[in-house]
Amino acid sequence: MAGAASALFLLDIKGRVLIWRDYRGDVSSVQAERFFTKFIEKEDDPKSQDPVVYDSGVTYMFIQHNNVYLMAASRQNCNAASLLLFLHRLVDVFKYYFEELEEESLRDNFVVVYELLDEIMDFGFPQFTEAKILSEFIKTDAYKMEVTQRPPMAVTNAVSWRSEGIQYKKNEVFLDVVESVNILVNSNGQIIRSDVVGALKMRTYLSGMPECKLGLNDKVLLEAQGRTSKGKAIDLDDIKFHQCVRLARFENDRTISFIPPDGAFDLMTYRLSTQVKPLIWVEAQVEKHSRSRIEITVKARSQYKDRSTATNVEIELPVPSDATNPNVRTSMGSAAYAPENDALVWKIKSFPGNKEYMLRAEFSLPSITAEEPAPERKAPIRVKFEIPYFTVSGIQVRYLKIIEKSGYHALPWVRYITKAGEYELRLM
């Protein structure tokens, strides 16, 4: 670690200190607050500010979550990537404790917040950031604690992400394979960028210290085993694993074996940079009939097999900010004008494969325009959707074995889902 943080701050939306924890005594809260309130006041949109800023010898690194800023201050040349990530972990921990992290929940639970800040970092160096582990020695409801506290086993044993002695009546594992499709189509209808980011999200409710083994239709593995893949094997780029996975083992023989943490975690993530066909294709034609009327015609086409169906499809169409009197007709679903986003949102509950739907909308424009029209921000069309029981990459879980020395039988539940990530089509 290149350097230590001096202090952690939790600030409200105006940049005032709610709670802070001093670790090294070289940055004061007055100093930080004075800087940060000015800093966010200065900009109309604090979100456009660099998350790492420097002011008279101190580096401030911050992230925003709801109406709270989390900020680390340091006087040293510290590891920016690591501290920013640490702040995000802190958000996860707070969320675990208070359901939602916001100003109110911090105020209501300040004692626990102090306790957490005390354990999560010591002298400016990150210590324990696993909410599950922390929760074993910092209880939310302090009044219920009757037994004297012991530092949990996990703090002291090699499997730092799981404690011993976990018990469930029913042993179950839920595995969600979630793929997000990112796509960018330019105004000529060309796909200029597409990739798929996949994640294996697990929720485990298992007793004891279970050994898990996961089999995927991984091309490298299947070929190594001499099985000829019949177009079923997939080639995953750049896989990343949760710290519980034995990486060396994966390097050797591509087996994914691990002792899972208790509860929800991302077992692995991967990325496919192969070009994918846009699952939902949207074309829009904008016609300005006169100076006072604008007509938008939109065609949305699903480009996946008939047996799959996309759900909760939302197509956000940008419209001029001064448009009024929407008059919309759709061949499916419903459309609502959202003037706060300068957009028309077309929602389709269920969108089966190989179908095409239409939307036609008319807006009035003011006949008198401002002398200096505000520069247009041509937003792209954005699409959200989910397609259950389907993955773009074709990844399949071949098996998920769970072995525990007590010999219980655990049920694995596997689910596949594909959804839109950053899915943008630029208007012509």
**Stretch 339-398 residues interacting with other proteins (CB under 8 A):** 375, 377-380, 382
- Residues in binding contact with other proteins, number by CB under 8 A: 97
| Per-residue x/- track, 222-251, other proteins (CB under 8 A) | ---------------xxxxxxx--xxx-xx
Q: Which is nearer to other proteins, 273 or 331 (CB)?
A: 273
Could you tell me the sign of the dihedral formed by the alpha carbons of 418, 423, 427, 428, in that order? negative
Which two structure tokens, joined as six digits, stand for 209?
A: 């210290």
Give the C-alpha separation, 418 to 180, whole Å: 6
Indicate the helix (H) or strand (E) that contains 374: none
Q: Which of 28, 207, 229, 297 lies at the binding interface for other proteins (CB under 8 A)?
A: 28
Minimum Å distance from CB 278 to other proteins?
15
Distance from C-alpha of 326 to C-alpha of 417, rounded to nearest angstrom: 34
The beta strand positions in 13-67, using DSSP E, are 17-22, 52-55, 58-65
135 conformational bin, left if phi > 0, alpha if psi -120 to 50, beta if neither: alpha
Span from 147-155, 286-294, 384-392, 393-401 in contact with other proteins (CB under 8 A)? 147-155
User: The sheet that has 256-258: what strands, in order across it?
Assistant: 256-258, 211-216, 397-403
Q: What binding mask, one character per residue, do residues 48-87 give for other proteins by CB under 8 A, x or -?
A: xxxxx-x--x-x-x-x-----------xxxxxxxx-xxxx
Interface region with other proteins, contact rule CB under 8 A, candidates 13-21, 171-179, 286-294, 389-397? 13-21
| Residue 259 dihedral angles phi and psi, to the nearest 5° | -105, 110
**What's the rounded Cα separation, in Å, for the pair 51 and 64?**
9
Which stretch in 217-225, 264-272, 331-339, 344-352 sits in contact with other proteins by CB under 8 A? 264-272
Give least dist CB 348 to other proteins, A: 22
Of 95-103, 268-276, 290-298, 354-362, the window that binds other proteins (rule: CB under 8 A) is: 268-276
Q: How far is the CB of 192 from other proteins (least distance, A)?
A: 6
Q: Site residues for other proteins, window 280-319 (CB under 8 A)?
A: none
Residue that the structure tokens 């209880």 belong to:
139
Question: Which position among 41, 118, 164, 356 is part of the footprint of other proteins (CB under 8 A)?
Answer: 118
User: Measuring CA to CA, which residue among 417, 404, 416 is closest to residue 172?
Assistant: 404
Residue closer to other proteins (CB basis): 156 or 167: 156
Can you read off the two tokens belonging to residue 60?
């401030």
Distance CA 19, CA 138 (A): 18
Question: In 3D, which of 175, 174, 234, 177 has the Cα closest to residue 416?
Answer: 177
Q: Does 210 engage in binding with other proteins (CB under 8 A)?
A: no
Asked if 20 is part of the footprint of other proteins (rule: CB under 8 A), the reply reads yes
Task: CB nearer to other proteins: give 298 or 410.
Answer: 298
Rounded Cα–Cα distance for residues 173 and 402 (Å): 9
* Footprint on residues 31-50 left by other proteins (CB under 8 A): 47-50
Minimum CB distance to other proteins, residue 250 (Å):
7
Q: Assess 187 for contact with other proteins (CB under 8 A).
A: yes
The DSSP output letter for 225 is T
The interface region with other proteins, picked from 115-123, 276-284, 385-393, 411-419 by CB under 8 A, is 115-123
Residue (332 or 345) nearer to other proteins, CB:
345
Nearer to other proteins, 95 or 242 (CB): 242
Q: Which amino acid is at 173?
A: V
Interface with other proteins in residues 125-144 (CB under 8 A): 125-129, 137, 142-143
412 near other proteins (CB under 8 A): no
Q: Which is nearer to other proteins, 68 or 410 (CB)?
A: 68
Q: CB–CB of 405/208 below 8 Å?
A: yes
The number of angstroms, rounded, from the C-alpha of 47 to the middle of its chain's C-alpha atoms is 17
**Minimum gap (Å) between residue 340 Cβ and other proteins:** 15
H-helix or E-strand containing 212?
strand 211-216
The residue (of 180 and 330) whose beta carbon lies closer to other proteins is: 180
Reference 254, options 289, 206, 219; nearest CA is 219
Residue 253: both structure tokens together: 């023989």
The two three-digit tokens of residue 44, written as one number? 């109309």
Complex with other proteins: residue 45 or 409, whichever CB lies closer: 45
Residue 320 near other proteins by CB under 8 A: no
Q: Residue 305 CB, nearest distance to other proteins (Å)?
A: 27
